[in-house]
Structure 1
């Protein structure tokens, strides 16, 4: 009995290991190759982002003599604590004034974008009116039209409004041309049950009260997403401030950095220091609040 039972217990397991062994060996190289390609792509993507930043930092710490002797942007500086270029960029480049102008434009633009975008999304989603589908279609068409093709008409409108060469010109343009924020708010509002609106309406709340007391507090993830995405875009924008605020006193950080090409056109170490001053605030804010961007976008699209 023992001799018969032994092979019967061992046989199937033994045959199973022989049957699945070649398949395991065949898939193992593919899995290893997939892991290798994944890490290789991550390394290359990181290098594309990190190498330019490293070049800017290293160049900003070098002197003009070092730049003349060796033009390699990745060469290390002789003095790692050389902050003279930052001092020149901050004082002679008026970066403090530019940072104040950028902050003023940023605050009012984001405030208007949040209010206009959330109100528009609330009206489109909660109210049924004639031409509602047409409005949504026009929003989509406006998002697909390149902004450069309408700049002539936009410039004339801004000039007629009398806000040319003021802070309000870019503020009005940033508030009125952001279709993406409307769609982000729209996705979130669609996930809010209409029963909350009905309960508030039974208690005597008006549509504006429902928006302010019920809808807007529930849009905090969407507001965080819009503020971060839109804020980074405004902070890095060069075209609108350069075109609609040509005065040097109204320059933002992007246009002030561009004006370094005049007195500091050949001094790349000073230009790199100015670029580092521009990059640092947005980089810190993005790295600190990046989880709000990803969670806000995924929550808005997944509901």
Structure 2
């Protein structure tokens, strides 16, 4: 038995290590070329830099609003994700707390809303945002992201169904209000799935390109991904500088994902084995 496990482990290592190297090659290519000059990159694109330099990073911080874009992206991501998780969890709690035909109908409506592709709603959304005077504002962009609350709802409601309903009934009999039950009883019990949903939504909002390119036009409101897209034309000749912008965009999410990846599996699997 031990021999079979060891053989399986060796086979997995032999298969997975080359695959990991293949997947990591593009990231290596981008990072290593940020420390090269244009000429060095042209002659030796995959090798280590002969004369490492930080001029590409110094140049983008001096000539591009990187810090402003980072602050805008951080603000939009934090506010949007908090609101999405709150709205999604409250909707899930309402479905659990008020069981009945109306809740079922509402759940079906949310399902159909979830199935509609976002791209097909951009034109009516844009007209609504224009009507509200929220075009080219970070708050308007946050309002657009609130549609992601539907995704939060479907992930959270499945986990929330594993919470023993007797706890809610007991709190209700003791005179606790619905909000108090939600805030003091249900939320602590579903914390793993809240973290999981937050991780998914943070990565979506941070890396999103479609919404900012449609609803944001001014430099003062630019996000990191939008800044990287505009850098394609700005640094069309200087590819190492463009790659430096790309690394600045990617590094926060890489660190965030490595830090939080264990919660993704814990939250998704937890609901299936809980109780």
TM-score when scaled to structure 2?
A: 0.91
Q: Is 2:87–2:149's contact at 8 Å kept on the other side of the alignment?
A: no
Report the structure number with the largest CA radius of gyration.
1
Q: Distance in 2 between matches of 1:79 and 1:57?
A: 15
Q: Is 2:196–2:268's contact at 8 Å kept on the other side of the alignment?
A: yes
Which whole-Å deviations, capped at 9, do the CAs of 1:148-175 have from their partners, x for residues lacking one? 1111111111111211100012211111
Match of 1:65 in 2: 39
Q: 1:268 to 1:301 in 2, by over 3 A?
A: farther
Q: Is 2:56–2:244's contact at 8 Å kept on the other side of the alignment?
A: yes
Q: Distance in 2 between matches of 1:247 and 1:301?
A: 46
Q: 1:286 aligned to 2:260?
A: no
Match of 2:132 in 1: 161
Which whole-Å deviations, capped at 9, do the CAs of 1:49-80 have from their partners, x for residues lacking one? 21011001111010122134x1x531221123
Query: Could you tell which deviates more after superposition, 129-138 or 246-255?
Result: 129-138
Q: 1:233 aligned to 2:201?
A: no
Q: 1:122 aligned to 2:99?
A: no
Match of 1:174 in 2: 145
Q: Distance in 2 between matches of 1:46 and 1:274?
A: 24
Match of 1:197 in 2: 168
How is 1:28-47 mapped onto 2 (pairs within 5 angstroms)? Answer: 38-47=12-21
1:36 Cα deviation from its structure 2 partner: 6.8
Secondary structure of 2:234's match? coil
Match of 2:218 in 1: 247
Q: Distance in 2 between matches of 1:254 and 1:220?
A: 30
Count of residue correspondences: 272
Residue of 91, 98, 104 corresponding to 2:62: 91
Structure 1 runs, 4 residues or longer, greater than 3 Å off: 34-41
Q: 1:143 aligned to 2:140?
A: no
1:35 Cα deviation from its structure 2 partner: 6.3
How is 1:201-280 mapped onto 2 (pairs within 5 angstroms)? Answer: 201-280=172-251
Q: Distance in 2 between matches of 1:44 and 1:179?
A: 38
Q: Distance in 1 between matches of 2:135 and 2:13?
A: 50
Q: Is 1:93–1:257's contact at 8 Å kept on the other side of the alignment?
A: no
Query: Could you tell which deviates more after superposition, 86-95 or 275-284?
Result: 86-95
1:123 Cα deviation from its structure 2 partner: 0.6
Which whole-Å deviations, capped at 9, do the CAs of 1:152-200 have from their partners, x for residues lacking one? 1111111112111000122111112342211121122111111111221
Secondary structure of 1:77's match? coil
Runs of 5+ consecutive residues of structure 1 not aligned to the other structure: 1-27
Which whole-Å deviations, capped at 9, do the CAs of 1:184-223 have from their partners, x for residues lacking one? 2112211111111122112211111111111112221111
TM-score when scaled to structure 1?
A: 0.83
1:118 Cα deviation from its structure 2 partner: 0.3
1:300 Cα deviation from its structure 2 partner: 2.5
Query: Could you tell which deviates more after superposition, 141-150 or 162-171?
Result: 141-150
